[in-house]
């Protein structure tokens, strides 16, 4: 018999490189199998600029350099975890459930690499750690992403769609009783890099986009990228953005402001195309604060957008990786073949124990 309450940390480093999200979580499961949660404390530990630069470049590293980086990042992550536990006087955790940071993601070639998931993460943090959630799925023929949808199904089934606006946008929904999910388009991974040209970390509230002009020709080129006409399951990675999106943006001679306006419109159109009119959409991820983007999406399709409280907006992914870890401890399915395209549903994640 498994226990019915769990206390874990959820740890996530997303693609937009703003920092490491850490959340202290409590989960409860009822006799009927209904899960409920509480986010007790949470914090985003911002990356120092040196780490941002390294993590951005790492996609081009040789195997040897990646190995060294993985060791260094695992030590860094363990230190963040230790400090969070000490600062919040957290005791008796069942596990730390940690995603690590994605460096390589090319599932069609059997490749996905999240760093920070070496066995030392457990010895250095002195906790049981559940991590490396994507590799098993790729080895089963899946995309290894997105993994959050099982959490959408178990924790947020009252919404028609769950939409996350992070580095990339992804959504999940139930179709004929089956959860489907996929990455929609890049969001902050591109908006942030365009904003950097203007000396800003991101387009706060979408103000730059609101005041810029949309370039129709660039917009058409973006909308015509073949990824958008593929059927799910499908997922995106930095490699795709570098190969297909940045070249289009770099070739365009319009101002950085107008590129932001054009890319925001591109995102708004891609997002709106995913949802049925009038449906309820839970919107999380930092992009939920891009009010102009949400307005433009609504201009294309009338929807009931629900932006929840700040903690859920910012820590939903850490929350769900916490749940994935708990499900793994119970050896229960935490990865859906209907979402990733793997050969079957499975329980993914590697468990490292201190002793
Ligand atoms: N006020 C704001 N206005 C516009 N954008 C914002 C605002 N606040 C945060 N963001 C955007 O949200 C980003 C952080 O989002 P989030 O933490 O959800 O991404 P992530 O977890 O790294 O990505 P992913 O979900 O793809 O892994 C910031 O980098 C920024 O681009
Ligand atoms: C390979 C990888 O790290 N993918 C991330 C990325 O960031 C957003 C999107 O692309 C999604 O596919 C995934 O993360 C979320 C948390 C997921 O697995 O559900």
pLDDT tens-digit profile, the chain (355 residues) = 789 999 999 999 998 788 999 999 999 999 999 999 999 999 999 999 999 999 999 999 999 999 999 999 999 999 999 999 999 999 999 999 999 999 999 999 999 999 999 999 999 999 999 999 999 999 999 999 989 999 999 999 999 999 999 999 999 999 999 999 999 999 999 999 999 999 999 999 999 999 999 999 999 999 999 999 999 888 888 889 999 999 999 999 999 999 999 999 999 999 999 999 999 999 999 999 999 999 999 999 999 999 999 999 999 999 999 999 999 999 999 999 999 999 999 999 999 998 6
Query: Residue 258 and residue 145: Cα distance in Å, rounded?
Result: 32
Domain boundaries, the chain: 5-143+316-352, 150-310
Strand partners, 95: 8
Whether 16 lines ligand 1, by a CB cut-off of 6 Å, is: yes
Query: Residue 203 and residue 193: Cα distance in Å, rounded?
Result: 10
- CATH topology identical between 5-143+316-352 and 150-310: yes
Q: How many CB atoms lie within 10 A of CB 66?
A: 18
- Domain 150-310 carries which CATH code? 3.30.420.40
> Distance, CA 113 to ligand 2 centroid (Å)?
12
> Distance, CA 164 to ligand 1 centroid (Å)?
10
Whether 274 contacts 184, CB under 8 Å: yes
Whether 186 lines ligand 2, by a CB cut-off of 6 Å, is: no
Question: Is the domain defined by 5-143+316-352 classed in CATH 3.30.420.40?
Answer: yes
SS (H, E, C) 312-349: HHHHHHHHHHHHHHHHHHCCCCCECHHHHCCCCCECCC
Whether 8 contacts 326, CB under 8 Å: yes
């Amino acid at each position: 018999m498994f226990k019915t309450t769990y206390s874990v940390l959820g740890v996530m480093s997303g693609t937009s490189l703003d920092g490491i999200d850490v959340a202290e979580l409590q989960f409860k499961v009822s006799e009927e199998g209904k899960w409920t949660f509480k986010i007790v404390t949470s914090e985003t530990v911002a990356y120092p600029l040196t780490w941002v630069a390294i993590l951005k470049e790492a996609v081009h590293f040789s195997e040897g350099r990646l190995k060294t980086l993985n060791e260094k990042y695992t030590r860094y992550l363990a230190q963040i975890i230790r400090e969070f536990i000490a600062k919040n006087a957290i005791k008796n955790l069942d596990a730390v459930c940690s995603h690590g940071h994605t460096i390589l993601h090319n599932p069609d070639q059997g490749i996905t690499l999240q760093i920070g998931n070496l066995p030392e993460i457990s010895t250095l943090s002195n906790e049981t750690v559940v991590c490396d959630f994507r590799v098993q799925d790729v080895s089963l023929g899946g995309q290894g992403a997105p993994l959050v949808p099982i959490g959408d199904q178990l924790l947020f089934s009252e919404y028609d769609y769950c939409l996350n606006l992070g580095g990339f946008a992804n959504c999940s929904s139930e179709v004929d009783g089956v959860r489907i999910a996929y990455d929609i388009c890049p969001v902050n991974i591109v908006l942030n890099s365009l904003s950097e040209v203007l000396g800003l970390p991101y387009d706060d509230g979408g103000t730059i986009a609101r005041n810029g002009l949309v370039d129709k020709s660039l917009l058409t080129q973006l909308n015509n990228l073949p990824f958008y006409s593929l059927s799910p399951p499908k997922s995106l990675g930095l490699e795709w953005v570098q190969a297909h999106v940045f070249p289009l943006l770099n070739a365009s001679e319009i101002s950085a402001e107008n590129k932001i306006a054009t890319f925001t419109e591109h995102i708004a159109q891609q997002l709106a195309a995913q949802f049925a009119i009038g449906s309820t959409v839970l919107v999380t991820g930092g992009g939920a604060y891009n009010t102009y983007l949400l307005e433009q999406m609504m201009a294309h399709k009338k929807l009931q957008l629900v932006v929840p409280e700040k903690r859920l907006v910012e820590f939903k992914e850490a929350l769900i990786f916490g749940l994935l870890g708990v499900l793994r401890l119970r050896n229960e399915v935490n990865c859906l073949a209907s979402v990733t395209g793997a050969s079957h549903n499975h329980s993914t994640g590697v468990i490292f124990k201190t002793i």
